[in-house]
Amino acid sequence: MSLKYLKFSLILIGLLASASLCLGQTGSITGKVIGPDGQPLRGALVKIERLDIRGNYKVKTKKKGDYFHAGLPLGRYNVTVEIDGSVADRVSGVRVGMGDPTEVSFDLVKKEAAKKTGPTQQDIATMTPEERKAYEGALMKRQQQIGKNKELNEAFASGMVGLQTKNFVAAVQGLSKAAELDATQHVVFANLGDAQSQLALTKTGADRTKLYEDSIASYTKAIDLDATNAAYHNNMGLVMIRAGQEEEGKLKLAEAAMLDPVNGAKFYFNLGAVMVNTGNVQGAIDAFRSATETDPNYSMAYYQLGMALVGMAETKEDGSVVPAPGTIEAFQRYIELEPTGDYTQSAQGMLTGLTSQVETSYEDPNKKVRKKRPTKKPAS
């Protein structure tokens, strides 16, 4: 063998050995990405970041959500999956060695579930110092929030039990505490307003006035947090009317009817009931009439309208009754809608009384009636 050929052979053997050595000192990572919908995720970006020395590698998932990256220097890596530029999941401290590929898969369905239960001990063990610090801070904040939520729930539950059992003092106390713990819950303020208005009915004078003011303030806060809730406007309007703010209360009830036309008739009916209780007969008539105009089939609104109008009837000198316009029609409409209703007999009685003549003359029942003597016929 010539010297030139021997040198060439030695160089070739050396190159092959070097290549074999380099190939033997690299590893690979493989895995699969399951999307939030439970299906294999195609096109997700998998980033592979070397920890011991600088080195970054990227690969995208294929049709079945799988990926593979070879030629990775041996060492430890962080593997991250990104969707639309946002980090969806991450595995830290992955060790890549020789031999079979290291498997790193991502299941984003389980990831979402894990957010509720927290990371496993294995996840925590593989966290970087920065991740560990962030996790512990988030954990402490979450534990504080859980404690706060527990206290909030207990206070709210206590207040609601008070409302249901008509212990309005306890209801106000519990719901006031809940409102202090979390000032963003419109339901808390709405129920507090209800409790305060109910408690006001058991008080008099300045105490009642103060509770009505507190109730209106609570409902105002509830509406600030949820302006589209028609019931809040309705309830606040009723409290305003009880507190003497009649015009403002009517406006609130009109807002409620606009926000919820389906239940608008009920809001006007509630207004009529409050007017009756406060002795405002004309206000009651206007409210019940609005209820019938909003819902022409609202039978109870017709009956209550008729009852309110009865007080406006006049009795003439001859004893005849002149009902206010619309009274007869209101009772007739109720009977038409409720021929066997709870108030049908009452409505019929009202119609009879309003349409009959009242006897005004008086005669002594003990007075004897004289018999007339027969008239003699003249002799023919």
Could you read off the pLDDT of 309-348 as tens digits, one per residue? 988 888 777 767 788 999 999 999 999 999 998 999 999 9
Q: Which residue is it, tokens 């819950």?
A: 185
Alpha-carbon gap, residue 107 to 286, rounded angstroms: 64
What is the reported pLDDT for 289?
Answer: 93
- Sequence-distant (6+) residues with CB within 8 A of 105 are 31, 32, 33, 34
Longest Cα–Cα distance of the chain, Å, equals 193
Q: Choose among 214, 177, 219: nearest CA to 199.
A: 214
Element (H, E) at 103: strand 102-103
Distance CA 2, CA 85 (A): 61
Determine if the pTM surpasses 0.75.
no
Q: What is the mean pLDDT of residues 205-230?
A: 94
| Residues 161-215 pLDDT 10s | 998 899 999 999 999 998 998 888 898 999 999 999 999 999 999 999 999 999 9
List, in order of start, the domains of the chain with CATH numbers.
25-108 (2.60.40.1120), 127-259 (1.25.40.10), 280-358 (1.25.40.10)
% of the chain residues with pLDDT over 70 = 80
Identify the pLDDT of residue 62.
Answer: 93
- What confidence tens digit (pLDDT) does each residue in 268-297 have? 898 888 888 878 888 889 989 999 998 999
Rounded distance, CA 294 to CA 315, Å?
32
Q: What is the pLDDT of residues 103-162, one digit of tens each?
A: 999 988 877 766 555 566 666 666 677 777 776 777 676 666 656 678 888 888 889 999
Q: What phi-psi label fits residue 99: left (phi over 0), alpha (psi between -120 and 50 degrees) or beta?
A: left
- Quick check: 96 and 25 in contact, CB under 8 A? no
Structure tokens, 33: 């990405």
